[in-house]
Amino acid sequence: MPDHWSFVAAAYGLTAAVLLIYWRRLATKEREVEASKRLNAERSREPSITGHPRSEPASRTPLQQNQRPGAPLP
C-alpha cells in the first residue's frame, strides 16, 4: 500500500494548527482580562470629579454600582 504522506501531514498539521490557535486564544483572553483588571483598579483609585474619593467597588451600594462615571447623583 502506498504511504499517503500527504494524509499524514494533513492530520498532524490540522491538529497542530487547531491546538496552537486555541493556545493563542487563551493567551489573548488572559491579557485582555489582566488589562481590564488594571483599568478597573486605576479607575477606583482616581478621585471623582466632585473631589470626594471614590469608594471601593465592593463597598458601593447597588445604585452606585450602576451609576455611570461622571453622572450626577440622584
Partner 1 sequence: MVKTLGWLTAAALAAGLVMAFGVAPREVTQGNVQRIMYVHVPLILASYVAFVVLAVASLVYLVRRDPAADGVAHASGEVGVMFVGLGIATGSIWGKPTWGTWWTWDARLTSVAILFVMYLGYLLLRGTIDDPERAARYCAVLGIVAALDIPLVHFSVYWWRTLHQPPSLMKPGGFTGSSSILWPLLVNLLAFILLYVYFVARRARLLRAQAEAIA
Residues that bind partner 1 (CB under 8 A): 1-5, 7-8, 10-12, 14-15, 18-19, 22-23, 26, 29-30, 33-34, 36-37, 40
Distance CA 42, CA 57 (A): 12
What's the rounded Cα separation, in Å, for the pair 19 and 50?
Answer: 51
Residue 49 C-beta: closest distance to partner 1, Å:
25
Distance CA 15, CA 69 (A): 46
Nearer to partner 1, 40 or 50 (CB): 40
Shortest Å, Cβ 64 to partner 1? 15
Give the amino acid at 28: T
